[in-house]
């Protein structure tokens, strides 16, 4: 899969249906400085995520490494993501959750808000994506049990689904990641526990439950807030492949992160991926 680069026409007003081009990116890391190096990128992301409400990221920056699941050694398995940058908006378009945009409407092109693939990954050739990372409703629904797909598709119409974009990659250890962003007509329609939450009917998974590693990490600093992600794991016993799912609700956009791997999915890169995708949406 090759990432597509196109030039969008800047909107005349703050209408997210017509998106501005990705000019001079604005660093997402705190302090407006571009960070280099894997460790600095991860710490900056964790600090930024703490600012918008997750106790887990706060715990990672403040607690001893041995107190947190999966962070006991320096080589904890985190992935090397590129420096994150938010797209520049058209003049007059507010950032999501700014004082004049409390509903969290995103005015950037949706594909510009997708988390980039980490270093060492290869595009997932089975991931069905079109120009500008667009994903069809049917392709997204393949993540769910066939028995619920027709109902979910009807709900897409009723809830004003406007667009789905996604990105998929595979790491050398076989971990397969699929990231989806779904934009709706308003924030009131974006949140759904059946689409991304504890009530999901994930294809090939008997039942999901809260990610225990995430729950343990949150206890280090239990201060969840608005925008904190929800992380889930396949209930044991699992088959040959484990599945984990992360959900981020951010205004009119809902993010769903699926990771699967033969044997088990590593906690640290899974948590890292969900945190960074959430950062790009705030």
For residue 154 the two structure tokens come to: 């009807």
Output b/e per residue, 113-144; b: 16+ Cβ within 10 A.
bbbbbbeebeebeebbbeebbbbeeebbbebb
Rounded-to-integer distance, Cα 8 and Cα 21, Å: 5
Residue 160: count of CB within 10 angstroms of its CB? 14
pLDDT given at position 235: 93
Q: Where are the beta strands (DSSP E) in the chain?
A: 26-27, 85-86, 122-123, 161-170, 176-184, 208-210, 230-234, 241-250, 253-262
Quote the pTM value. 0.75
Between 4 and 269, name the one with better pLDDT: 269
Pick from 230, 219, 236, 223: nearest CA to 191: 230
CA 281 to the chain's CA centroid: 8
Handedness of CA 156, 163, 106, 53 (dihedral sign): positive
Over residues 219-231, the mean pLDDT reads 69
Mean pLDDT over each residue of the chain, to the nearest integer: 78
pLDDT given at position 221: 59
pLDDT given at position 179: 98
* Torsion angles phi and psi, residue 86, rounded to 5: -90, 145
Summarize pLDDT for 86-145 with one digit per residue, the tens: 999 999 999 999 999 988 999 999 999 999 999 999 999 999 999 999 999 999 999 999
- Percentage of the chain lying above the pLDDT 70 cut: 71
pLDDT given at position 28: 42
pLDDT given at position 195: 86
Pick from 188, 181, 200: nearest CA to 277: 181
Q: What's 263's DSSP letter?
A: S
On the question of pLDDT at 1 being above 80, the answer is no
Q: What's 33's DSSP letter?
A: -
On the question of pLDDT at 154 being above 70, the answer is yes
CA 276 to the chain's CA centroid: 7
């Amino acid at each position: 899969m090759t990432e597509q680069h196109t030039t969008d026409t800047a909107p005349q007003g703050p209408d997210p249906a017509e998106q501005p081009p990705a000019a001079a990116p604005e660093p997402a890391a705190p302090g407006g400085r571009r960070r280099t190096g894997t460790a600095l990128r991860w710490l900056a992301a964790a600090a930024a995520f703490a600012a918008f409400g997750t106790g887990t990221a706060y715990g990672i920056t403040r607690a001893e490494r041995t107190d947190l699941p999966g962070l006991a050694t320096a080589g904890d398995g985190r992935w090397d993501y590129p420096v994150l940058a938010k797209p520049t908006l058209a003049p007059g378009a507010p950032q999501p959750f700014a004082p004049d945009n409390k509903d969290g409407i995103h005015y950037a092109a949706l594909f510009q808000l997708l988390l980039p693939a980490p270093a060492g990954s290869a595009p997932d050739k089975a991931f069905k994506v079109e120009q500008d990372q667009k994903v069809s409703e049917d392709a997204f629904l393949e993540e769910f049990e066939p028995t619920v797909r027709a109902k979910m598709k009807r709900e897409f119409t009723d809830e004003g689904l406007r667009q789905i974009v996604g990105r998929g990659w595979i790491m050398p250890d076989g971990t397969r990641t699929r990231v989806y962003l779904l934009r709706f007509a308003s924030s009131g329609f974006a949140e759904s526990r059946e689409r991304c939450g504890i009530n999901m009917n994930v294809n090939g998974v008997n039942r999901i439950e809260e990610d225990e590693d995430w729950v343990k990490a949150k206890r280090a600093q239990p201060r969840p807030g608005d925008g904190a992600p929800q992380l889930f794991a396949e209930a044991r016993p699992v088959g040959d492949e484990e599945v984990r799912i992360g959900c981020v609700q951010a205004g009119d956009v809902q993010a769903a992160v699926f990771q699967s791997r033969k044997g088990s999915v590593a906690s640290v890169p899974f948590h890292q991926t969900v945190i960074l995708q959430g950062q790009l949406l705030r």
